[in-house]
Amino acid sequence: METIKERVLKILDWEDIHPHVSRSRVPFTYHHDYLRTNYSQFNGKSCGEIAQLTRNSSEDLLYAGCLLGVCLNLTTADLMFLNESELKEFAKLFKVCHILLNNYYKT
């Protein structure tokens, strides 16, 4: 069974998603951006502060946040070019990542 990291990296390589991804930002900056945007305990924190606060995060948490952070930069039009199986895989992983992060970071 693939890890969340492996599944996220595979999706980030899809040709319709890839143009929206800066490899130098995977996984940390996208993860930090997503946390800052969606969880009040990270509002106003720098990437360095978030890195310090999340230094014990698992790879699953880092890559889950990374995928959701990448999604902040996608539009509906970007997703329209995914084929049906890609869209289902993307939606399923999106839900898993969202649940994982909410269970871990919600206060």
Q: Which residue from 44, 12, 14 is spatially nearest to 30, judged by alpha carbons? A: 12
**How much is the pTM?**
0.88
CA distances from residue 92 to 56, 89, 95 in whole angstroms, order as listed: 26, 5, 5
pLDDT on residue 78: 80
Tell me the C-alpha distance between 89 and 98, whole Å.
Answer: 14
pLDDT digits (tens, 9 = 90+) for 59-68: 999 999 999 9
Q: Which residue from 91, 80, 79 is spatially nearest to 7, judged by alpha carbons? A: 91
User: What stretches of 1-107 adopt beta strand conformation (E)?
Assistant: none
